[in-house]
Amino acid sequence: MQYYQRIYTIDTQVKHLDMKSLHGLGLWLSRKWAACQERKQQAVEILNEKQVPENVLREEWAAQVKEQTKPLVRQSRDLANKIIQEILTLKSSHDLHQAEIRRYEGMLESGVYEEGLDVIDVTLYLEELTKKDISVEQAIKQKKKSLDVDGRLSLHNLLDDKFLQLRMNALALKNRIRIRLRQRKFELEGLERAYRHSQNGALQANIN
């Protein structure tokens, strides 16, 4: 078979499969809708049994979306320095939060409030500051974990460290390769399912 004959044959087969899929689109949508409703009902029953608050589910979903859609870390000569600077900045914010928390706690303990503040205001400020500080501490831990260095080492002394820079770039490359392989695996799984489905359909048609 010549080149253009192969192209014509492939195009014809693809158009045939497109028309075949289009004719069965309504049935496919119906099956998908029924399966979706069934899974939704099962999930609702599990959540009602576990009594998980809706705000917790929304927070977890937002965190999952943020994690899965964030850009991949790229290799850079300043990658390690950038993370160290971010940690130092977060530590400064943490220190400021702690100072503010101690100030408001001192007001509650002494019963003496600054002008324009009362016990309700101070309590609300404390709750807000505590939440922010917990978030900052978690971010610091995650960034330190990505550096994978001894916690007793001074971060300032690690700036421009060549070995640390090479290790961070190697880690970034490793993560990118892992994510690409995972994406490729999902793509192939979808293709294999479609192929098995078409083969099973052809086999069933031959039997009938």
- At 153-183, the pLDDT tens digits run 566 666 666 767 777 777 777 777 887 787 7
One-letter amino acid of 157? N
Q: pLDDT value at position 153?
A: 56
Give every CB contact of residue 105 below 8 A, 6+ residues apart in sequence: 126
| Cα–Cα distance list, 33 to 36, 37, 121, 190 (Å) | 5, 6, 50, 19
In tens, the pLDDT along 50-74 reads: 888 888 888 888 888 887 777 766 6
Give residues with Cβ within 8 angstroms of 34, minimum separation 6.
none
Rounded to whole angstroms, the Cα distance separating 102 from 108 reads 10
pLDDT confidence bin for 34, thresholds 50/70/90: very high
Query: For the whole model, what pTM was predicted?
Result: 0.45
Q: What percent of the chain has pLDDT over 70?
A: 83
